[in-house]
Amino acid sequence: MADEKLRVAIIGCGRMGQHYTEVYNTFENTEVVAIAEYNDDRRNVVGERFGVTALFKDAEEMYQQMDEVPDLAVVVLPGKFIKDAVIASAQAGVRGVSTDKPIGAKLSDVDEMIAACEESGTVFHGGNLQRSRADVQEAASWLRNGDYGEIQGATVHGWGGEISGGGCQHIAVLRLLTNAEITEVIAWGKPQESLEANEDSGLIINGRFKMSTGIETTVYGEPTPHRGVDVWTEDSLLRWDWGDVMDIYQGFDDNGARIKSDRQFTPFAWPKYGYLASSILSFISAVENGTEMAISGYDLLRSLEAAVAAKHSALWGSVPLSLPLEDRSLTLYPRPYRWLGGDQSGRYQTPDEARAYELFAKG
């Protein structure tokens, strides 16, 4: 029936999973029918909070015991546990599976997730990234339509500290705005102890990306003072800088300085939930209508691959590395709280907090 709700299973219901649950239960065409949460105390609390009675310890138990496979599996687990849950969901026959950042540490692990989803015909969604913001998507469409002319160059600012765990945001936006893939990476990194570590904590990367369209992207590891992505044409510059809305400049004043455009973005219908809502809506549309997603699992792979390539380029003496990388065993771990989760890295959420945690600002 056209008016039937999509049945949603949340796999991992910590702080971020609770945000997902709230949004899915808010939309008229989706309903959370199951929660898999490893923490016994929190599992019962979130089940009560969101009115869900089908509660399980993990994805494996859920798929073994549920009489009917959910339509959507929403994996909101720490990075270490994403792969198994995504593959289990695809093999169980869900229509779509959603993951989140960072998608993993080893390239071959993400390759396996993508392959499992392709084999089962499962839509593989990328999760909660700023690339999904309504204004970022609209600006990208204006660029693709030629509203500002041909793209001449791009820069990434502040790509340091977490080039995988947080830096995946930059790469996802860069690829969207330029409508191009990164084909070559050359990088310089500091400090040396971070460069030699197996995770991205504190790693500052400067470098250059060659793009498939022929342009080059300069990468600054520290704020300039900007912290996001700039894309420019002959007379325009579009800037994503982590703010509430992108900045657009078009034309020059009498002194040669850029003029800020007063072009307005289309108002988003769910401002309270921000880009989590726009991301989820694009996922739902992809499952129901076959439309392109704002962020996919493939996009997260490309972000991880750029980070892995940059780290190893710098580590090996600033050697140019072509993408896709041939060695799929290459690995870059995110910070412990992203890889293992808050419960295992000093950010434990108590049952009382899970019961009363304010998910979104009131309004």
Looking at the structure, tell me whether residues 245 and 203 fall in a common domain: yes
- pLDDT of 187 > 90? The answer is yes
Looking at the structure, tell me whether residues 117 and 76 fall in a common domain: yes
CA 76 to chain centre: 12
With 0-12 CB in 10 A as exposed, 13-18 as middle and 19+ as buried, what is 331? middle
- pLDDT of 1 > 80? The answer is no
* Alpha carbons 44 and 46: distance in angstroms, whole number: 6
Query: Tokens representing 188?
Result: 């310089």
- 285, part of any domain: yes
Looking at the structure, tell me whether residues 247 and 314 fall in a common domain: yes
With 0-12 CB in 10 A as exposed, 13-18 as middle and 19+ as buried, what is 134? buried
- pLDDT of 363 > 70? The answer is no
- Indicate the pLDDT class of residue 195, thresholds 50, 70 and 90: very high
- 321, part of any domain: yes
- Indicate the pLDDT class of residue 52, thresholds 50, 70 and 90: very high
What CATH number does the domain containing 101 carry?
3.40.50.720
Looking at the structure, tell me whether residues 292 and 308 fall in a common domain: no
- 179, part of any domain: yes
- 308, part of any domain: yes
Strand order in the sheet with 123-125: 55-56, 30-36, 6-11, 72-75, 96-98, 123-125
Looking at the structure, tell me whether residues 307 and 265 fall in a common domain: yes
Q: Give the residue-averaged pLDDT of 217-234.
A: 98
What CATH number does the domain containing 223 carry?
3.30.360.10
Structural domain containing residue 193: 134-269+301-328
- pLDDT of 211 > 50? The answer is yes
Looking at the structure, tell me whether residues 15 and 82 fall in a common domain: yes
- pLDDT of 262 > 90? The answer is yes
Looking at the structure, tell me whether residues 160 and 63 fall in a common domain: no
Looking at the DSSP assignment, which residues form a beta bridge with residue 229?
156, 240
Looking at the structure, tell me whether residues 145 and 63 fall in a common domain: no
- pLDDT for the residue numbered 362: 52
Looking at the structure, tell me whether residues 43 and 151 fall in a common domain: no
* Alpha carbons 322 and 69: distance in angstroms, whole number: 41
Number of domains in the chain: 2
Share of the chain above pLDDT 70, in %: 98
Q: What is the pTM (predicted TM-score) of this model?
A: 0.96
- pLDDT for the residue numbered 342: 83
Looking at the structure, tell me whether residues 291 and 320 fall in a common domain: no
Mean pLDDT of the chain: 96
Looking at the structure, tell me whether residues 305 and 162 fall in a common domain: yes
- 346, part of any domain: no
Query: Tokens representing 1?
Result: 């029936």
- pLDDT for the residue numbered 343: 78
Q: What is the pLDDT of residues 56-112, one digit of tens each?
A: 999 999 999 999 999 999 999 999 999 999 999 999 999 999 999 999 999 999 999
Is 293 in contact with 125 (CB distance < 8 Å)?
Answer: yes
- 214, part of any domain: yes
Looking at the structure, tell me whether residues 141 and 188 fall in a common domain: yes
- 30, part of any domain: yes
HSE, CB side, 13 Å, CA atoms: give it for residue 334: 23
- 188, part of any domain: yes
